[in-house]
Amino acid sequence: MATLPDSLSAKFKGSFAYKTVKDRIPSILVKVIDVLARSYGKFKEDYGKEGVEEAKGVVGLLSGLRNEMQTDKPVLPLTDSRADVNLWNRYLEEVRAVQGSQPSWFTSAWLYVECYMYRRIQQAFEASTMLRTFDPFRAQKEAGLLNSESPIQSLASYVQQATQDPASLSQQDIHKLLNQLIQVNLWGNKCDLSISGGSENYQKHDPIQQLASLKSFIIVDQTDQIWNRINQPKTSKRVDLVVDNAGFELFSDLVLAELLLTTKLADVIHFHLKVMPWFVSDALRGDFMWTLDILRASSHAAVSRYGNLWHGRVKDGTWVLHEHDFWTCPHDYSKMEAVAPDLYADLAKSHLIVFKGDLNYRKITGDLKWPHTVPFSQALRGFLPTALCTLRTLKADLIVGLEEGQAERIESEAEEAADWMVSGNWAVVQYCDQL
């Protein structure tokens, strides 16, 4: 087998990985500490003085973690009682064996240490009794939805109007609608709070009206291959959405899922969510159900209609919510079949898996320094439980599947030439059904 490229890593000074480990993720950690400090009054109200003392203990652990990170200390084994601890600690041993040295923040793979930071944040909360389920990113995620009220209303009205008589829709109408909602869903991925270091990053404009001006920024667009797959006659069609961010992006996931069901392109949708707070804005089951509650309570007729409809879909099993430890482990997806065979076997039952966002893209492609022209199928390194696609705005210096000279052309045309791969302004819709 050909030698694989190096992992993206902070050891490459000046790279986006280096900037992330040096500046971005320590900044996110500071914001978590600040959220806890500002919540002391609430903790006292809810739990008494013991709650404040526990919060201070968590702050102490997180401050220590920040120091470890900034001084490039060795990555430490996990010590809490969560079920995934052995998986993480075995991975650390494997990295140590391959690297031939003690893994540390600036010498190891970026994907590993960034995931490890969020897992260590969770470990700090696991050390408490009263705050074990506290989500330090919850307020930001909720603000992401509440501050996107106008585009949510616009999108809900548009889709309700377009699908009010599904039986009258031609194949051409459905194809056009699917293309539009895939693009809305794709650009909804710009609303990512980890890339902005936890700063505000909300959808502000009518998403349908934006599509024409954004079209040229989709540098690989295999939407028609998704259509060809999803439009195949089949007795049972399950579509899986591996969800990324809460907020407007999650709403756009739900709208896309609804279109697939309404037009009979799918008969059941499986959503895969995180089991713990992750990369600031990643969606948990609680975020999913809270979103439905907010939509149901809306004074906007189309929004509340969808909120009630979707709440019913969760209850009747047309929408199935999943959580699995693998999504918050350090492994890239080429290891899924070996590490989480149950998850791999379940995904293999799907007609199409839709992977959302930058982190999923990094894990699909191994977060390696691939030449930009390497085929997407090659970068999967054997991971293909079934046909899959990825909807991703670029927020890491990693891209595959480009034509010869395409990256150089984009770089010469981009306003942010040095940062075009990490700005979130460019996007890909990539598809694979055979290796």
* CATH classification at residue 64: 1.20.930.60
Contacts of 57 (CB under 8 A, 6+ apart): 127, 128
263 and 183 assigned to the same domain = yes
202 pLDDT higher than 80: no
Residue 427, helix vs strand vs coil: strand
At residue 197, the pLDDT reads 44
In a domain? residue 258: yes
pLDDT band of residue 415 (cuts 50, 70, 90) is confident
The model's pLDDT over 170-180, given as tens digits with 9 standing for 90+, comes to: 999 999 999 99
Report the distance separating Cα 227 and Cα 231, nearest Å: 6
Mean pLDDT of 396-400: 96
Mean pLDDT of 278-293: 98
166 and 51 assigned to the same domain = no
The model's pLDDT over 14-47, given as tens digits with 9 standing for 90+, comes to: 999 999 999 999 999 999 999 999 999 999 999 9
293 and 196 assigned to the same domain = yes
In a domain? residue 281: yes
For residue 95, the enclosing domain spans: 16-126
pLDDT band of residue 76 (cuts 50, 70, 90) is very high
Beta strands of 176-291 (E only): which ranges?
218-221, 238-242, 268-273
User: Taking the CB of residue 418, how many other CB atoms lie within 10 A of it?
Assistant: 10
| Whole-prediction pTM | 0.96
119 and 143 assigned to the same domain = no
C-alpha torsion angle, residues 356, 360, 365, 371 (rounded to 10): 70
In a domain? residue 3: no
Pairing mode, strands 319-323 and 352-356: unpaired
In a domain? residue 45: yes
Domain-terminating residue out of 126, 151, 174:
126
In a domain? residue 248: yes
Number of domains, the chain: 2
At residue 192, the pLDDT reads 52
186 and 101 assigned to the same domain = no
Beta bridge partners of 218: 427
155 and 98 assigned to the same domain = no
Domain-terminating residue out of 95, 126, 157:
126
271 and 294 assigned to the same domain = yes
420 and 301 assigned to the same domain = yes
Beta bridge partners of 389: 354, 431
In a domain? residue 286: yes
pLDDT band of residue 51 (cuts 50, 70, 90) is very high
358 and 386 assigned to the same domain = yes
150 and 118 assigned to the same domain = no
Report the distance separating Cα 294 and Cα 276, nearest Å: 21
Could you tell me what percent of the chain has a pLDDT over 70? 96
Given a contact cutoff of 8 angstroms between Cβ atoms, the answer to whether 231 and 265 are in contact is: yes
Domain-terminating residue out of 90, 106, 126:
126
235 pLDDT higher than 90: no
Q: What is the mean pLDDT of the chain?
A: 94
122 and 147 assigned to the same domain = no
Beta strands of 343-401 (E only): which ranges?
352-356, 388-393
In a domain? residue 10: no
Given a contact cutoff of 8 angstroms between Cβ atoms, the answer to whether 19 and 418 are in contact is: no
Place of tokens 């404040």: 52
Contacts of 41 (CB under 8 A, 6+ apart): none
Given a contact cutoff of 8 angstroms between Cβ atoms, the answer to whether 362 and 397 are in contact is: no
At residue 203, the pLDDT reads 58
Question: Taking Cα atoms as reference points, which of 171, 114, 150 lies closest to residue 303?
Answer: 150
User: Taking the CB of residue 54, how many other CB atoms lie within 10 A of it?
Assistant: 21
290 and 397 assigned to the same domain = yes
User: Taking the CB of residue 98, how many other CB atoms lie within 10 A of it?
Assistant: 11
In a domain? residue 301: yes
67 pLDDT higher than 70: yes
Given a contact cutoff of 8 angstroms between Cβ atoms, the answer to whether 207 and 253 are in contact is: no
